[in-house]
Structure 1
Amino acid sequence: MADDDGPEPDFEVPMGLFQDMEDLKAHVQRLEALVKKLTEGAADETGEASEEDEEDAGGDGAEEAGEEEDEWQYPPLILLLDPPAYDEELRALIEWVEGVLVPGYLGEPSADARWCHLWFEHTPVVARLHALWLAWQELTDPATCGYTGPSVWHRDHLDPCMREIRGSNGPFKGCTKGEHQIDHRVPSLVPSAWKLEEG
């Protein structure tokens, strides 16, 4: 019967390999513990940072953000303003148009280059001249546009705007001496179109 059983297989693991396996298990456990510690620490740090951020956002930061939303970041289209903001912006625009644009750029009105001294009663003209004025404010400041700004303003803003509003089919097409009974003015002799109330 001993012949049937045959020799017993040798399942003995060499001692060196066994120790290597145990060392490997211990090393893996240390790495797992380190990874767990790092991930928990990162989560805690993230939680602390987010709590601090929430405190900042809930405090002055949120108020500042709310204030920024209430205020315009850039000047709005004048037609979107309500009184008294519209009236103040229109006064400033009229001052610029009469003080800079009319004496500096407009010649004698003609059939091909019309002008109405009551231009501020023409809504499309107010909108265009306001946009022109905003561009002038930006493009005549070397700090924001360098030294080429005025050239850009003339080419890209003034010339197209004047073609649109002073053309024979523009918003002033009905404003002639005969039809509209509005005397057109020579730009150098323009009286103020508005007066501030003195009080």
Structure 2
Amino acid sequence: MASDDAPDFEVPIGLFEDLEDLKAQVAALTTQLNALTDAVGEGEEGGEVVPDEQAAKDDATHEDEWQFPPFILLLDPPEYDDELRALVEWVEGVLVPGYLAEPSADARWCHLWFEHPVAIARLHALWLAWQEQTDPASCGYTGPSIWHRDHLDPCLLQLRGSSGPFAGCTKGEHQVDHRMPGTVPSAWRMGES
């Protein structure tokens, strides 16, 4: 098609991003379908399956299935400690040096972020998304872009905002429970006095 045969309209850039997202999803689904088809085909080739053999195959299948990571705040030691240790390595090794500029009143950060449960929960979710979105086998080449747009930017806005978990922390002061309300006097009790 010659350049003068090109249509005379502009295609929105977002359309190209959506198309790339769809391509990545189709590729991932195709891979999953092929794996499932191969698994079914292997079962048919062996002929009739004895019940004990079927149970062994089912157990092996369950072991090979993807294990979804649990919500970090629901873990108990030592699983919580192991997951937090890995999260600290990622935050301090990737996120802080690569994405966090100098803290300010508009973009707060607490160097003791791991003492803020809300920050731990949000950063753990961000880290899990990073692990998935940076895997070209499952997300294609658009995964990192999607991670930035859909995960990193919203997470940092929530964490570093003026009402986020670091709202009471400054360079010289750290407050873990700064968002917890104190005892609020009751209007009912004031009337009883």
What is aligned with 1:128? Answer: 122
- Runs of 5+ unmatched residues, structure 2: 1-47, 177-193
Q: How does 1:94-105 map to 2 (within 5 A)?
A: 94-105=88-99
C-alpha distance in structure 1 between counterparts of 2:104 and 2:158, whole Å: 15
Distance 1:120 1:132, change over 3 A: same
What is aligned with 1:37? Answer: none
Task: Tell me the alpha carbon deviations over residues 54-87 of structure 1, each in whole angstroms, 9 at most, x when there is no partner.
Answer: 3334x4235446757xx97112211122111111
Q: How does 1:73-92 map to 2 (within 5 A)?
A: 73-92=67-86
Question: Superposition RMSD on alpha carbons, in Å?
Answer: 2.5
Paired amino acid for 2:68: Y
The answer to whether the aligner puts 1:60 opposite 2:85 as a matched pair is: no
Paired amino acid for 1:60: A
What is aligned with 1:144? Answer: 138
Paired amino acid for 1:92: A
What is aligned with 1:172? Answer: 166
C-alpha distance in structure 2 between counterparts of 1:66 and 1:105, whole Å: 38
Structure whose residues are more often helix by fraction: 1
Q: Between Structure 1 and Structure 2, whose CA radius of gyration is higher? A: 1
Paired amino acid for 1:169: S
What is aligned with 1:12? Answer: none
C-alpha distance in structure 2 between counterparts of 1:143 and 1:97, whole Å: 24
Q: TM-score, normalised by structure 2?
A: 0.60
Task: Tell me the alpha carbon deviations over residues 75-111 of structure 1, each in whole angstroms, 9 at most, x when there is no partner.
Answer: 2211122111111111111011011100100011111
C-alpha distance in structure 1 between counterparts of 2:87 and 2:74, whole Å: 15
> What is the percent sequence identity of the aligned residues?
72
Paired amino acid for 2:87: L
- Runs of 5+ unmatched residues, structure 1: 1-48, 183-199
Task: Look up the SS of the partner of 1:114 in the other structure.
Answer: coil
Paired amino acid for 1:81: L
Task: Tell me the alpha carbon deviations over residues 17-70 of structure 1, each in whole angstroms, 9 at most, x when there is no partner.
Answer: xxxxxxxxxxxxxxxxxxxxxxxxxxxxxxxx6xx453334x4235446757xx
Paired amino acid for 2:81: D
C-alpha distance in structure 2 between counterparts of 1:108 and 1:138, whole Å: 28
The answer to whether the aligner puts 1:93 opposite 2:90 as a matched pair is: no
Distance 1:135 1:60, change over 3 A: same
What is aligned with 2:149? Answer: 155
